[in-house]
Amino acid sequence: MKKNNIQIAVFAGGCFWCTEAVFQRLAGVHRIISGYTGGTIKNPAYREITTGRTGHAEAIKIEYDAEIIKFTELLEVFFVTHNPTTLNKQGADQGTQYRSAIFYVDENQRQIAVTMIKKLSEEAVFDNPIVTEVTELGPFYNAEDYHQNYYNQNSNQGYCQFVINPKLDKLQTTFKNKLKKQIQD
Q: Please, what's the largest Cα pairwise distance for the chain?
A: 44
> By the 8 A CB rule, do 88 and 15 touch?
no
Q: What are phi and psi of 149, to 5 degrees?
A: 55, 35
Q: Which of 8, 9, 15, 60 is catalytic?
A: 15
62: enclosing H helix or E strand: strand 57-65
29: enclosing H helix or E strand: strand 29-37
Q: What is the dihedral of CA 108, 114, 117, 119, to 10 degrees?
A: -80
Q: Under DSSP, is residue 80 helix (H, G, I), strand (E, B) or coil?
A: helix
CA-to-CA dists, residue 36 to 25, 61, 108, 124, 153, angstroms: 21, 9, 23, 31, 20
Helix 165-174 with 71-80: angle, nearest 10 deg: 130
Let me know if 18 is a catalytic residue: no
Contacts of 89 (CB under 8 A, 6+ apart): 14, 83, 95, 98
Give the residue numbers marked as catalytic.
15
